[in-house]
Structure 1
Amino acid sequence: MKDQKLGKILIVDDNEDLLKAAKIFLKRHFGQVDTETNPGILPVLIVNESYDVILLDMNFTKDVSSGQEGFYWLDRILELDSSAVVVLITAYGDVNTAVKAIKEGATDFVLKPWENEKLLATLHAALQLRQSKLEISELKNQQEQLYKDIDSKFKDIIGQSPLMVKVFETIDRVAATDANVLILGENGTGKELIARAIHRHSRRHREAFVGVDLGAITSTLFESELFGHKKGSFTDAKEDRAGRFEQANKGTLFLDEIGNLPLPLQAKLLAALQNREVTRVGANKPISVNIRLISATNMAIHTMVYSNTFRQDLLYRINTIEITLPPLRDRLEDIPLLANHFIEVYAKKYGKDIRKAGEALIKRMQKYHWPGNIRELQHSIERAVIMTNHGVLQPEDLFIQKQLSPEKQEDLVSLDHLNIEDVEKILIRKALQKHNGHITRAAEELGLTRSSLYRRLERYGL
């Protein structure tokens, strides 16, 4: 059979006639059959080749009948490869010795002269055992790595700048509590990563982390998405459905872009948070929920309270603890770490032999403003890895748009050599500033739909 031809067998015996006969027979059933008369070569063979089954004689010429030499080499084999599968070759009179050897780590034994069918059956069983051992070993390695990843602090968040150290210290202090957390920061600074880190280090880490992008949920679907619905409660409600609050029960609910929520929906969210219960659309009976709330926004939410576009009582409810993420331009010392991390990720993904970012490129990146923050850096590195043929990324490999000063940006519409993307980016920035980051209002002023504006924000790294 095809899978039987994949096995690698090593036979160690000082009887050359036995080795020749065994090899002729076993070659018909296994992919590779090696033979050796000198057991002293075993360490070299095992280091250089991964054998599925090793057939080992118990008695060699130096030790004709006691089996002690066999015990010695059995120990050496298992020392070199703990998952090795060793089948002993022994004579009728040495069965007790073979049984003792099995207690010390051998898998089975065959009596010589052997019957070919019995030998074959023993080797097939040994081969299956070897495959099982390797699978178990691989699973253990994966599990150990998983535990390391889980236990390693802030494994997805890269940074050692003083500002990021403060963020890490805050996570350490608040993660174990159930305090509501509000994460502030520009687009692309990694707010969701921080939220996930808080959850991972909390007492709720074995429960669900449920994220909701409030900026992408329409007003008509808000209650259905967050609170759930009953079958038939509206046209597309073809079955009962739990909302995000229920899905996050006993775990963490992450409300991203909470600053984009219109005032009427803010009131509904506040009621659910205050009462710790939700009522599905089309139902009358409230459902109790036990969640840890983490929210995030890129908007000036405290300013929005003063302009009456965000409820003050809701802000008090969601920001027991507040974490502000610094923009990339304020943590320039983290750029080399981030750049080389993304180079490693994308070099592996695209099969490129790229080792790092060169010093000249690092200096250039540290002079750039990075309006799109880490997300813009990540996309730039990915594009550079795809396009370059260099082993070390150079400045010419990374496309960075020419940085304009704020004064020049104000006068940009009067400059020569403009392209439509430059103008569009500035108009989008101005609209967002005018409306304090409110996506719906900015989109209306620009004559765009919300989804069109989101696509442009993503394209330009804004």
Structure 2
Amino acid sequence: MSRILVVDDEPAMVAVLSEVLKERGYDVLQATTPEKAMQLVREQRPDLVLTDIEMPQGKPTGLEVLRQTKALSRAIPVVMITGFATKERAVAALRAGAQDLIEKPFKIDEVIKCVEGALFSPQAVPTMESSVDLKRQVQNQYQFENMVGTSPPMEAVYRMISRVANTDSTVLILGESGTGKELVARALHHNSRRAAMPFVAVNCAALPEHLLESELFGHRKGAFTGASSDKVGLFQEADGGTVFLDEIGSMPLGLQGKLLRFLQDKELRRVGDTQQIKVDVRVVAATNEPLQDKLRNKTFREDLYYRISVIPIELPPLRDRVADIPLLVQYFLQVFAQQQRIAVPQVAPEVLDVLQRYRWPGNVRELQNVLERACVLCDGGVITMKDLPALNLEATGATVPAAPAGSPPALKSFLREQEISYIEEAIRAAGGDKEAAARKLGISMATLYRKLSAGSGSGGDPVSE
């Protein structure tokens, strides 16, 4: 259950907000003074602070609550409530790290939406400081929000983030798709002196060269067809903060030289402009492909490679940190259950065994998607084998565990029935086409027929492929 601290100098407002949040399953702490609020933040470590900006004259304001909360832990989201007359303070709140602003007068639904968005948004870096006991445990230990894991490979990542976060050195994050490279970039930003300034992410593979150049550096009106007005680029927009260049290996060769000059000089020139603009940003890049191959193929500049890889951080694939899977499973199920307002599902032992044996080519992102589906589809509050998608166990070299040799026949029969039911469901979904069902399940036709035959009474062990 997430723990929320409500702060307002009006007891009636505190009571109303507290009641609404309690009805939705949150544990609520209350404070009517900034001093009491900070005491509760220090002693209770809430997962979110909801505070009014305005306080009685002569008293610290909600901004001071925000600043002291962020000084204690940058990962605790703070949502501010502001009136029409406090626009300047609202801007100051955002600059100081407020997660969101609610403007008076407000609707209760708006408050709930902001609270849930702050608790579960990727912006709440990593997404790791929710009220869930698990999240608090990881956050207190590592202070890296949504990054979950206590395995040696992840401990090495945490140590590296701690050492380099407060520098301005360029960082290159290496790792397969779905390993959490943007989470590392956000952790670097939120644990640095730039934390109160913008964090801007851009996917270098998502845009053609001329649009990517305009997106990063901006352009002047009339610089090219369709440029109907001046545009500020992302580097300038993030001035004082951090720019995350994802999939930098896909950046067009022609644009790499301009990026290199910017990294060296900290100055940019918008497309179609002659003026040089000084910009102070930290650049964090990431790639899921070996840049050395691109260097050999002359599709990536060697000088740019050395400029962006001053500090490399390599993220392990999920298959190399299997010990973290139970922790990740618990974390994601708690998050999904909170979002869907249901009890946290239990996980059958054989399911957890399968999840730890699977090779996870899509890494943590794939695990997250599998668990979200299972959380929605499971019956009786327990995730069983039938709730898992067709994980391609054969292709990845994993096996679903067979029942132990000494298992009672009833357990073997149960597992066999669950597997056959799942295969039959896949065949029905494929309109009776067994070949299509086998492809969807990631098994061969021979395996499909053998398992169906076992279900008719041949006595073969369940889920042994």
**TM-score of Structure 1 vs Structure 2, range by shorter chain:** 0.5 to 0.7
Q: What are the within-5 Å matches in structure 2 for residues 358-377 of structure 1?
A: 358-377=348-367
C-alpha offsets along residues 416-449 of structure 1, whole Å, 9 cap, x if unaligned? 96549959x9xxxxxxxxxxxxxxxxxxxxxxxx
**Corresponding letter in the other structure for 2:260:** L
1:231 aligned to 2:221?
yes
Q: Quick one: distance in 2 between partners of 1:327 and 1:142?
A: 36
User: Does residue 385 of structure 2 align to residue 395 of structure 1?
Assistant: yes
Contact 2:358/2:396 (CA < 8 Å) preserved in 1?
no
| Alpha-carbon distance in structure 1 between the residues aligned to 2:438 and 2:262 | 42
Q: Does the CA contact (< 8 Å) of 1:354 and 1:390 recur in 2? A: no
User: Are the aligned partners of 1:354 and 1:393 in contact in 2 as well (CA < 8 Å)?
Assistant: no
The separation in 1 between residues aligned to 2:174 and 2:437, in whole angstroms, is 31
| Alignment correspondent of 1:248 | 238
Contact 2:150 2:324 in 1 (8 A): yes
Point out the more displaced range, 285-294 or 139-148.
139-148
Over 3 Å counting, the alpha-carbon distance change for 1:421 and 1:292 in structure 2 is farther
Aligned residues: 292
Matches for 1:35-434 after TM superposition, within 5 Å: 148=73, 150=75, 152=139, 153-405=143-395, 419=436
Q: Distance in 1 between matches of 2:241 and 2:386?
A: 46
Could you tell me whether the CA contact under 8 Å between 2:345 and 2:375 is conserved in 1?
Answer: no
Judged with a 3 Å threshold, the aligned counterparts in structure 2 of structure 1 residues 82 and 388 are, in CA distance, closer, same or farther, namely closer
User: How has the CA–CA distance of structure 1 residues 140 and 266 changed in structure 2, closer, same or farther, with 3 Å as cutoff?
Assistant: closer
Show structure 2 runs of 5+ residues with no match.
1-18, 20-29, 34-54, 77-138, 399-432, 443-465
Deviation at 1:358, TM superposition (A): 3.1
Change (3 A) 1:82 1:271: closer
Give the Å deviation of 1:388: 1.1
Q: Is the 8 A contact 1:227 1:281 kept in 2?
A: yes
**Per-residue displacement from partner, 1:265-296 (whole Å, max 9, x unpaired)?**
22222122222211111211111111111000
**Is the contact made by 2:171 and 2:284 (CA closer than 8 Å) also made in structure 1?**
yes
- CA gap of 1:402–1:248, structure 2 versus 1, over 3 A, is same
| Alignment-mate amino acid for residue 209 of structure 2 | S
Q: Tell me: CA distance 1:197–1:215, structure 2 relative to 1, closer, same or farther (3 Å).
A: same
Q: Deviations over 1:83-124 (max 9, x none)?
A: 69xxxxxxxxxxxxxxxxxxxxxxxxxxxxxxxxxxxxxxxx
Distance 1:229 1:313 in 2: 26
Matches of 1:315 and 1:240, distance apart in 2? 31
SS, match of residue 75 in structure 2? helix
User: For the residues of structure 2 that align with 1:214 and 1:421, how far apart are their CA atoms?
Assistant: 37
Cα shift at 1:227: 0.7
Q: CA deviation at 1:383?
A: 0.7
> Does structure 1 retain, via aligned residues, the 8 Å contact 2:374–2:388?
yes
Cα pair distance change 1:200/1:137, threshold 3 Å: closer
Report deviation, 1:249: 1.6
Q: Which amino acid aligns with 1:150?
A: A
- CA shift for structure 1 position 145: 7.1
1:421–1:176 CA distance, 2 compared to 1 (3 A): farther
CA change 1:141–1:246 in 2 (3 A) is closer
After superposition, what is the alpha-carbon deviation per residue over 1:157-182, rounded to whole angstroms, capped at 9, x for unaligned?
A: 00001000000000011111111000
Distance 1:142 1:231 in 2: 40
**Counterpart of 1:436?**
none
2-side partners of 1:217 and 1:398: how far apart? 35
Quick one: structure 1 residues 370 and 293, their matched pair in 2 at CA, closer, same or farther if it must change by over 3 Å? same
Mapped to 2, the partners of 1:159 and 1:187 lie a distance apart of 18
CA gap of 1:280–1:138, structure 2 versus 1, over 3 A, is: closer
Rounded to whole Å, the distance in 2 between the matches of 1:330 and 1:324 is: 12
1-structure distance, mates of 2:351, 2:67: 38
* TM superposition shift of 1:234: 2.4
What SS does structure 1 have at the residue aligned with 2:393? coil
Asked whether the 8 Å contact 1:210–1:244 carries over to 2, the reply is: yes
Q: After TM superposition, give the deviation of residue 394 of structure 1 in Å.
A: 2.3
Tell me how far apart the structure 2 counterparts of residues 137 and 391 of structure 1 sit (CA, whole Å): 44
Compared with structure 1, are the counterparts of its residues 341 and 180 closer, same or farther at alpha carbon in structure 2 (3 Å cutoff)?
same
Query: Is the Cα–Cα contact under 8 Å of residues 340 and 356 in structure 1 kept in the other structure?
Result: no
Contact 1:189 1:375 in 2 (8 A): yes
Q: What SS does the corresponding residue of 1:404 show, helix, strand or coil? A: helix
Cα distance change on mapping 1:293 and 1:137 into 2, 3 Å: closer
TM-score where L is the length of structure 2: 0.57
Larger gyration radius, structure 1 or structure 2:
1
CA distance in 1, matches of 2:275, 2:260: 18
- Name the amino acid aligned to 1:399: P
**C-alpha distance in 2 between matches for 1:144 and 1:421:** 57
Contact 2:359–2:397 under 8 Å retained in 1: no
Letter in structure 1 aligned against 2:150: Q
Distance in 2 (alpha carbons) for counterparts of 1:180 and 1:237: 31
Confirm or deny: 8 A CA contact 1:277 1:289 kept in the other structure: yes
TM-score by length of 1: 0.57
Aligned in 2, Cα 1:288/1:421: closer, same or farther, shift over 3 Å? farther
CA distance in 2, matches of 1:138, 1:396: 49
Superposed CA offset, 1:239-283 (max 9, x none): 211101111222111100101112222222212222221111121
The answer on whether the counterparts of 1:295 and 1:318 sit within 8 Å (CA) in structure 2 is: yes
The one-letter code of the counterpart of 1:403 is L
1:138 offset after TM fit, Å? Answer: 11
Aligned equivalents of 1:368 and 1:82: distance in 2? 47
C-alpha distance in structure 2 between counterparts of 1:193 and 1:247, whole Å: 21
